[in-house]
Structure 1
């Protein structure tokens, strides 16, 4: 459905120029500190690290089975292809003579490999910016550029672009699917529905929550077919409409399984990992064992988009109800927002990146409400009110996003590593997770004994063997899982024997001072220490060390 203010050729050109400018600006903001934290590669980066494991270093053959299904496999494969592409370019330029060179150089300095991996997230953000603009402009001229500005300057998205997450890829594909759904809803055409179905499947292949996008996909297919009179009259009409929607959903599920085929081929591992995820969302993790995530994500959303955006978001709900018949795009956007927002609000998991797929629909709905509110004023005040609302909405986000993009020159992990290089000497360092990245003799020995090390050029081998090492030990850290043992009773029955009420209670064993005799220095991490401080009575032993 085209908004009330259909574009003229001149305005369409201006719109395209505006989108291009926002994409360029979004790219510049994300490239500003692309090497943030490096060469200290401390981020989780599950897609990147799993892809690196899939090279099959010991066998020489790529292992397409990720053997882990906490995430579906699309981002693993994308990262693997990027790594292989970078390796192929390096072979041509002479940077790598063999895969062994790539392997050893990664362990010496992962910066170039990680930067290539981060580019996927940046490209995904640019797609999200474009889709926000297209979706908004489809509803009302000007809305898309405002929404795209809020997405481009989102501090959450900007900071996430310096890491490697599946969330950004899922969000880009989900927003692209939503844009095609709205296009199909407006003018029909099987190609648009097929594109929406494929993109929905790809989004789910990036991360499981996007499977919920099959619900609006079904709705749009059903609604459009009914409006077009594509179903026969009589008792079979509902069945025919449902079948049309189910075909679109089936296509999305087929694409999802095509991107993650080992969900079926390695069902036992998938079932085990899916059970773990279900347990994690209900029981929580270290730092949040009891509270649902609603308050955490609401605070982060307010910090990201500003309280004016949340006020306009609330107002958009009223507009959605009032315009449900005439402009169903409001309802569709609210549906997508709730599909991504409700699960993270109920789950006992706190992670800033979970907000990523929520931000584009929030930006769109707030922008739509701002334009609607301004357009509803009297002609005398319409322009002034619209400008004021746009400024009220955009200025806080632009300011916060610019500040976020400007950070990242230094990290505490890098400072800690340099201090250790200058002062540690031969002393024994005990550190918590997310501390300094220090090579140890055992790590160098493991690399030296690996198959790819022997394929590397002699000068690269020499660099690794000459790498400085430290006597450093990282304390184990239990974040989630189970704390029970499966034992067999005298009667032969198998029982789960609970060791601790929650697995995070295992951490107290590692912090027992009696185990730490001989340690010269201890390096703490706020990312770990802050989780202990969140529940002082439970983590008294950990806090006292």
Structure 2
């Protein structure tokens, strides 16, 4: 016979999988945007370099504005795409495969990574507080607009969200399970993968350090092999995923310096009106990227956790707070820099809803028959959760539906092929239809930006 608690835990797990499945469906719907053109301005930075790797066999990306983990993941994926085309479709030359196929494959990979983040958020809440906290957190992140809108685009921010969440989860287990070495190693490895995705992922090592300091305060062992191994795992993992940071050090140093200068001096069309961007980040995150009501729940959860167990709050909040402070100090403002904050916001919101459930059970028990206490409390919390995510779900769904509408560049390309005679000379600027990629009938002169 299955114990009642085991049945309850299984039910929570199934509900979490259902939420993750719904999150996957919402995100997967967006992978075809712009088809048959690759219209996102940033995807090419990763896709074309990964393609270059499999075409030339050169593992040096010659581009270090981003670390190299995602280049290698995409290159491995693209090898699979090429193998499929060779074995099933009889296309042996990678150059003969439509480029958009590689973009679609990369987007599907990001969708899977983002969906995994939803489930990891559930696990964080389940292990920290209670399965209800995890389930509510997963329900909050699943429709969150900032997370959804970056979940089917081949960029580095969604992977950072996954790896930093896993690093924080392992740090929580260091604190709650007595500082077992395997959690030190895993936290360091996941933090290293976060750095290997984006340099700001280095902040993902903070929960590991804080968890160790708290454990050391409890058992009196500040310096030991566990923390040494855990911290060493961060740079080792980074160098395994970005080996040319050493092998091509001059290129690496130059790119990192260029990126720092870029964020300091500004980016036309993506910068704050002041020398910092704290206010724009906070405003967009609260009003659009995550939502006002979910943000209020998250703030309430963070305050409650800080009052209830400041040590757990330090572990949980160190990464998102430091990431916000780091990116906010610069003039350049890209809201996607805060994608990795969303799982932690959702977790705080889930913690508050779980605590609210406990308060409601206690309050209702004084006024209603015992058998109605739990049902009433769960019903109230479920309604509040639904109201909280409704706005974000509508915004995300409309956005996904909108970007899947026929792109004007596709319409322009069709007009060109139907109305201009072959041999016509076409001058085109950046972000215009790449006529030369889809037909050889015209003489195309690229004019730049």
Q: Confirm or deny a common fold (TM above 0.5).
A: yes
Q: Is the 8 A contact 2:118 2:142 kept in 1?
A: yes
**Aligned twin of 1:160:** 150
Q: Which segment drifts farther, 467-476 or 48-57?
A: 467-476
Q: Does 1:111 align with 2:103?
A: no
- Give 3-state SS (helix, strand or coil) of 2:314's partner: helix
Q: Does 1:416 align with 2:412?
A: yes
Stretches of 4+ aligned residues off by more than 6 angstroms? none
Q: Which segment drifts farther, 259-268 or 291-300?
A: 291-300
Change (3 A) 1:104 1:90: closer
**Aligned twin of 1:255:** 237
Spell out, residue by residue over 1:219-245, the C-alpha distance to the aligned partner (whole angstroms, 9 max, x if none). 112322442x262xxxxxx4x26x743
Pairwise CA RMSD: 2.4
CA-CA distance at 1:474 after TM superposition = 4.3
CA distance in 2, matches of 1:33, 1:321: 38
Match of 1:122 among 103, 111, 118: 111
CA distance in 2, matches of 1:143, 1:432: 50
**Alignment length (residue pairs):** 425
Change (3 A) 1:412 1:345: farther
- Give 3-state SS (helix, strand or coil) of 2:442's partner: coil
The 5 A counterparts of 1:333-352 are 333-352=316-335
The 5 A counterparts of 1:388-403 are 388-403=383-398
Match of 1:264 among 246, 250, 254: 246
**Aligned twin of 1:223:** 214
CA distance in 2, matches of 1:387, 1:299: 27
CA distance in 2, matches of 1:399, 1:375: 29
CA distance in 1, matches of 2:234, 2:251: 23
CA-CA distance at 1:255 after TM superposition = 0.9
Spell out, residue by residue over 1:107-152, the C-alpha distance to the aligned partner (whole angstroms, 9 max, x if none). xx32322221112101111210111001112223311112112222
Q: Is the 8 A contact 2:207 2:319 kept in 1?
A: yes
Change (3 A) 1:28 1:266: same
Q: Does 1:358 align with 2:341?
A: yes
Change (3 A) 1:180 1:102: same
Change (3 A) 1:432 1:196: same
- Give 3-state SS (helix, strand or coil) of 1:40's partner: coil
Match of 1:14 among 6, 11, 24: 11
If the length of structure 2 is used for normalisation, what is the TM-score?
0.87
**Aligned twin of 1:147:** 137
- Give 3-state SS (helix, strand or coil) of 1:376's partner: helix
Q: Is the 8 A contact 2:143 2:389 kept in 1?
A: no
**Aligned twin of 1:446:** none
CA-CA distance at 1:40 after TM superposition = 0.7
CA distance in 2, matches of 1:411, 1:150: 31
CA distance in 1, matches of 2:21, 2:386: 21
CA distance in 2, matches of 1:427, 1:470: 5
Unaligned runs of 5+ in 2: 368-375
CA distance in 1, matches of 2:390, 2:398: 12
**Aligned twin of 2:205:** 214
Q: Is the 8 A contact 2:409 2:432 kept in 1?
A: yes
Spell out, residue by residue over 1:499-525, the C-alpha distance to the aligned partner (whole angstroms, 9 max, x if none). xxxxxxxxxxxxxxxxxxxxxxxxxxx
CA-CA distance at 1:273 after TM superposition = 0.7
- Give 3-state SS (helix, strand or coil) of 1:349's partner: coil
Match of 1:23 among 12, 16, 20: 20
**Aligned twin of 2:120:** 131
Spell out, residue by residue over 1:31-53, the C-alpha distance to the aligned partner (whole angstroms, 9 max, x if none). 22322112111322122111112
Unaligned runs of 5+ in 1: 1-6, 232-237, 444-463, 478-545
CA-CA distance at 1:428 after TM superposition = 5.3
**Aligned twin of 1:51:** 50
Change (3 A) 1:475 1:295: farther
Q: Rg: which structure is higher?
A: 1
- Give 3-state SS (helix, strand or coil) of 2:95's partner: helix
Match of 1:187 among 167, 177, 184: 177
Q: Is the 8 A contact 1:42 1:437 kept in 2?
A: no
Match of 2:88 among 68, 90, 93: 93
CA-CA distance at 1:388 after TM superposition = 4.4
CA-CA distance at 1:73 after TM superposition = 0.6
Q: Does 1:370 align with 2:361?
A: no
CA distance in 1, matches of 2:440, 2:34: 20
CA distance in 1, matches of 2:195, 2:290: 26
CA-CA distance at 1:324 after TM superposition = 3.1
Q: Is the 8 A contact 2:145 2:395 kept in 1?
A: yes
Match of 1:34 among 5, 26, 31: 31
CA distance in 2, matches of 1:298, 1:262: 36
CA-CA distance at 1:26 after TM superposition = 1.6
CA distance in 2, matches of 1:311, 1:252: 34
- Give 3-state SS (helix, strand or coil) of 2:131's partner: coil
